[in-house]
Amino acid sequence: VRWDNNFKEVYWRLVLNGLACGERLHQQPGECVCGPRPNGMPAGRRHHFWDCPVAQSVSEMLKQQLVGGWCCGALRPHHVLFMELPRGVSTACTLHKGVWRVVCLAALNAMDLGRRAACQISVQQKQQRAATAAALRAAAAPRGQLLITDMFHPAPLTPSQLQHQQQVRQRQQLR
């Protein structure tokens, strides 16, 4: 397909296993932005570009567009991932191979963009949860340490604080 290489890069990386997905990056088993995987395996190319809910929303949009006389059969992963024309393409409306390849490249780009956006949102949520947990840990004062909020209302001074206060007054009087 003669098209801008930026649109074809995702497909090249997909074929060469060059995309940053859980399987290639050796992430924790079952880890994906959409939640734990049922089989416990890391999310791979098939998951990110067909099984993940992000990819499923793109493939559902494709199915909706193909129903109008373009395709009678079901849309399968190999139709998009291998850029094969779906069987049962209507003879009244023939779909050109080049057009189908552009549609597949656009769909793969949309899936990749959705995957990266979902990953970014997931990272931001993890950072926010970590910051909240750190703030809660910081709010819990160690045993015996006064909280800053204790200083907002009058509280009785401890014996060591009273002694320190007396020493400060004595030094001020000597000057």
What are the pLDDT digits (tens) for 58-82?
888 888 887 665 665 678 888 888 8
- Mean pLDDT score, 118-126: 85
> Largest alpha-carbon pair distance within the chain?
106
**75/138: higher pLDDT:** 75
Answer whether 24's CB lies under 8 Å from 31's CB: no
Global pTM? 0.63
Check residue 4 and report its DSSP letter.
-
Q: Tell me, what's the pLDDT at 133?
A: 82
Sign of CA dihedral 87, 90, 94, 100: negative
